[in-house]
Amino acid sequence: MSAMLLALTGTALCFGLCLVLVGGLRAPRTRILAALGLVPAAGACVAFTSAAFELQLELLARYANGLAALALGFAHAVVFSLAALPRERVWLRGWMLFSGLWAGAFGALWIFDPERHLAFDVLLGVFAVATIASWIALPFATRERGFTQHGALTVPSVRFACPRCGTRVDWGRGVAACTDCGLFLHIAWPAREDAPAKAAPDVERSVRFSCPECGSRGRWNDGLSTCSGCGLRLSLHWNVHRTQR
Ligand SMILES: [Zn+2]
Ligand SMILES: [Zn+2]
């Protein structure tokens, strides 16, 4: 493959990273992380593109790879911050998140500094292995089971992004807390017949998830909603007030 094609592949990959990071800007929890990651990601896009069309290939390509490694670390952290982990395995998040962030930072330093140090190489290797292991584990750890553990109880659940922090959570029927920011949310289906309906649903306060009865995907408002597919009545409530952390 020619150097130009290789550099253009780099541009495409970094553009993909930019898209992941822009997605991270939407969730309050990853807003800063995503903004920081966009700097090297955009830089790498520019560096790869100019490496493809200009003469100083070697130097530019070195910067491009280093910036891409840094951006990859941030994109990894965004993905792992928002991934839905089962309540009992949420402690894994910190390990998975930081291994990728550090692997990206160390990888960038490794590319920028041509001198080799054994201790540094070992450290980079450890973080790289932990990052790869996290990616292999991700599809298994985030598989939607349709239930969640509330202590010893198994409760049916629905999955949607926490309205406060943006992390995806499996919310158990009844009262459930966000696995990451602790927001309390009440969700019940079928809703009680005497549940009061709101006069005007607030579009700002709604979330998207699949109906627990028929599986059709839709938007559910804070308050009482009815599934357009099967007519299931579902009530959903969460607290608006921001709590200090
Ligand atoms: Zn939350
Ligand atoms: Zn339904």
pLDDT at 207: 92
The C-alpha angle 150, 154, 157, rounded to 5 degrees, equals 85
Distance CA 187, CA 223 (A): 9
Task: Return the half-sphere exposure (C-beta side, CA atoms, 13 A cut-off) of residue 112.
Answer: 12
Q: In which region does residue 174 sit, left (phi positive, over 0), alpha (psi from -120 to 50) or beta (all else)?
A: left
The full DSSP string for 163-213 is TTT--EEEEESEEEE-TTT--EEEEESSPPTTPPPPSS--TTSEEEEE-TT
| Res. 198 pLDDT band, cuts 50 70 90 | low
Question: What's the pTM value of the predicted model, to 2 decimals?
Answer: 0.88
Give the SS3 label for residue 236: strand
pLDDT at 114: 83
| Res. 62 pLDDT band, cuts 50 70 90 | confident
Over residues 97-121, the mean pLDDT reads 93
How far, in Å, from the CA of 8 to the mean position of ligand 1? 38
Query: Partners of 96 in the beta sheet?
Result: none
How far, in Å, from the CA of 215 to the mean position of ligand 2? 6
How far, in Å, from the CA of 86 to the mean position of ligand 1? 14
How far, in Å, from the CA of 180 to the mean position of ligand 2? 28
How far, in Å, from the CA of 159 to the mean position of ligand 1? 12
Task: Return the half-sphere exposure (C-beta side, CA atoms, 13 A cut-off) of residue 65.
Answer: 14
pLDDT at 184: 93
Q: Are residues 185 and 178 in contact, defined by beta-carbon separation less than 8 angstroms?
A: yes
164 CB-near residues (< 8 Å, 6+ apart): 28, 178, 181, 183, 238, 242
Q: For the chain, where are the alpha helices, taking DSSP H only?
A: 3-25, 31-53, 57-82, 92-112, 118-141
How far, in Å, from the CA of 116 to the mean position of ligand 2? 59
Distance CA 216, CA 34 (A): 31
13 CB-near residues (< 8 Å, 6+ apart): 68
Strand-strand pairing, 206-210 and 217-221: antiparallel
**What ligand has the least distance to the C-alpha of 227?**
2
| Poorest-pLDDT segment among 52-61, 97-106, 179-188 | 52-61
Give the tens place of pLDDT for each residue, 225-241. Answer: 899 999 999 999 988 66
How far, in Å, from the CA of 101 to the mean position of ligand 2? 40
Computed on alpha carbons and rounded to an integer, the radius of gyration of the chain in Å comes to 22
Over residues 108-117, the mean pLDDT reads 90
